Amino acid sequence: EIVLTQSPGTLSLSPGERATLSCRASQSVSSSYLAWYQQKPGQAPRLLIYGASSRATGIPDRFSGSGSGTDFTLTISRLEPEDFAVYYCQQYGSSPLLTFGGGTKVEIK
Long-range (24+ apart) CB contacts under 8 A made by 82-86 are: 83/19, 83/38, 84/108, 85/38, 85/39, 85/40, 86/38, 86/39, 86/40
Pick between residue 15 and residue 68 the one whose CB is nearest to another protein: 68
Q: How far is CA 32 from the centre of its chain?
A: 14
For the bound state, the minimum distance from the C-beta of residue 85 to another protein, rounded and expressed in Å, comes to: 14
For the bound state, the minimum distance from the C-beta of residue 103 to another protein, rounded and expressed in Å, comes to: 5
Q: Shortest CA distance to 26 belongs to which of 51, 52, 5?
A: 5
Pick between residue 77 and residue 102 the one whose CB is nearest to another protein: 102
What does the binding site for another protein look like in residue numbers (CB under 8 A)?
A: 32-33, 35, 37, 43-47, 50-51, 54, 56, 88, 90, 92, 95-103
Pick between residue 98 and residue 108 the one whose CB is nearest to another protein: 98
Report d(CA 94, CA 38) in Å as an integer. Answer: 23
For the bound state, the minimum distance from the C-beta of residue 16 to another protein, rounded and expressed in Å, comes to: 28
Pick between residue 17 and residue 105 the one whose CB is nearest to another protein: 105
